[in-house]
Amino acid sequence: TAMDLCASGRHDCAQVCRRTDGSYSCDCFEGFTLNPDKKTCSAADMCAPGRHDCEQVCVRDDLFYTCDCYQGYTLNPDKKTCSRIDVCAPGTHDCEQVCVSNEGSYTCDCYEGFTLNPDEKTCSRASTSSLVTTEEACKCEAIAALQDSVTSRLQALSTKHILF
């Protein structure tokens, strides 16, 4: 009988034999799917849509799967979800003063009054003196001469008594 075939192991099923009315059918262990021949089994694609609970990347590993994350993210303790890596977290960058996060990367910057050095990591105090072009120097002299002229005329006026 069919029951005897399953019980005695005299069947064609690769994994599981199930008794049916007057016969038997084959089935597979969890993580496997029955092949079209209705006898053999293949490992199920555990990473097929709807079969896993990974937030970003599913990695198939024979009977099981593991979750992984895209570049710039790290796997959370639940082993399913991902969080963006904080590239500016203390101890994770080599900026001397300010770390600016840019989509998984970073650039360095400096506090006000400092300038970024050519190494693009360290900062130097900004120079208070700046180079003045010849054209700017002439403008400065003209303004200074005008201010001196106005100041001397105001002083002259203030020494005279004006009656109304």
Fold adopted by 88-128: Laminin (2.10.25)
Fold adopted by 45-85: Laminin (2.10.25)
Q: Is the model more confident about 62 or about 56?
A: 56
| Closest among 22, 21, 25 to 12, alpha carbons compared | 25
Superfamily of the domain at 2-43 = Laminin (2.10.25.10)
Predicted local distance difference test score (pLDDT) of residue 11: 85
Predicted local distance difference test score (pLDDT) of residue 160: 54
Domain spans of the chain, in order of start: 2-43, 45-85, 88-128
Residue 164: band (very low, low, confident or very high) from pLDDT cuts 50, 70, 90: very low
Predicted local distance difference test score (pLDDT) of residue 156: 55
Residue-wise pLDDT for 69-124, tens only, equals 998 889 999 999 999 888 898 888 999 999 998 877 899 999 999 999 999 999 99
Of all residues in the chain, the percent with pLDDT exceeding 70 is 74
The residue assigned the tokens 């089994």 is 41
SS3 for the chain is CHHHHHHHCCCCCCCEEEEECCEEEEECCCCEEECCCCCCEEECCCCCCCCCCCCCEEEEECCEEEEECCCCEEECCCCCCEEECCCCCCCCCCCCCEEEEECCEEEEECCCCEEECCCCCCEEECCCCCCCCHHHHHHHHHHHHHHHHHHHHHHHHHHCCCCC
pTM of the full structure = 0.44
Question: Which residues contact residue 99 at a Cβ distance below 8 angstroms, ignoring those fewer than 6 apart?
Answer: 87, 88, 93, 106, 107, 108, 109
Which range has highest mean pLDDT (52-61, 97-106, 112-121, 148-157)? 112-121
Domains 2-43 and 45-85 share a fold: yes
